[in-house]
Homo-oligomer: A and B are copies of this chain.
């Protein structure tokens, strides 16, 4: 049985009881029964979002409810070795949503929207928007074969984001001004000479926080706030990246280094 071409869905962990699955979700029932036209006897891969994957044979496909029989449980693959939390300034809607989608594909574990001096105001991030963002994360996670569902927090002011980000080691801030290159900083932070490789047995830093600013940039006062929290400014090189490009380029580089 090939799993690679099987449809994948994240489901609530409490929908799984011993070897049975009961999904009371009319949107998912519509997707499975009407859009994909799956029938009892067809198999799907269900992910509990907490690291387990279940091969499930559908036993009933209704309008409101799907039931199934678990045939196999395994550890969900597709997760990176490291845990990266992306603190990203609120950007214009399509750019922000694009960061969520691409970041999820690449492996981001958690997103924290941040309000900055130069970013859009937080009051534009209402509950409806948060629900939309979660749908984007779920769809991207299913499509990219993530093993866990990334989370997204309520928007936070910059200083609060710094406090939270500083609990990871290293905590990095993307900075367009003069700063060491991300590459050197990652290797230095891992107590390696700047031009050393990251050795195979060291490919698991506990957690990384990455902060990224808005279209209008991080202000000097915000830079000071970040460095006072022990957050390290890093550069991605001499070219000026757009506010949505920089966090994705840095995320790609981090997973390139530590996958």
Q: Which positions in A face B, CB cutoff 8 Å? A: 77-78, 80, 102, 105-107, 143-146, 181-183, 187, 195-200, 236-242, 245, 248-250, 252-253, 255-257, 259
Q: Is the CB of B145 within 8 A of A237?
A: no
Q: Is the CB of A242 within 8 A of B197?
A: no
Q: Is the CB of A105 within 8 A of B143?
A: no
Residues of B within 8 A of A198 (CB): 195
- Not counting A237-B255, A252-B253, A253-B253, a sample of 16 additional A-B residue pairs whose C-beta atoms are within 8 angstroms of each other reads A77-B238, A78-B238, A78-B239, A80-B237, A105-B242, A107-B237, A144-B240, A183-B257, A195-B200, A196-B197, A197-B197, A238-B259, A248-B249, A249-B252, A249-B256, A256-B256
Known: A240-B143, A256-B182, A256-B253. A105 touches B245 (CB 8 A): yes
Q: Is the CB of A259 within 8 A of B106?
A: no
CB distance from A184 to the nearest CB of B (A): 10
Partner of A241, one of B77, B105, B236, B250: B105
CB distance from A108 to the nearest CB of B (A): 11
Known: A183-B259, A253-B252. A240 touches B195 (CB 8 A): no
Cα distance A245–B80 in the bound complex, in angstroms: 17
Q: Is the CB of B183 within 8 A of A239?
A: no
Residues of B within 8 A of A237 (CB): 80, 107, 255, 259
Partner of A181, one of B78, B144, B195, B259: B259
Which of A145, A198, A237 has most chain B Cβ within 10 Å?
A237
Residues of B within 8 A of A259 (CB): 181, 183, 236-238
Cα distance A8–B170 in the bound complex, in angstroms: 36
Cα distance A107–B238 in the bound complex, in angstroms: 10
Known: A182-B256, A253-B253. A146 touches B248 (CB 8 A): no
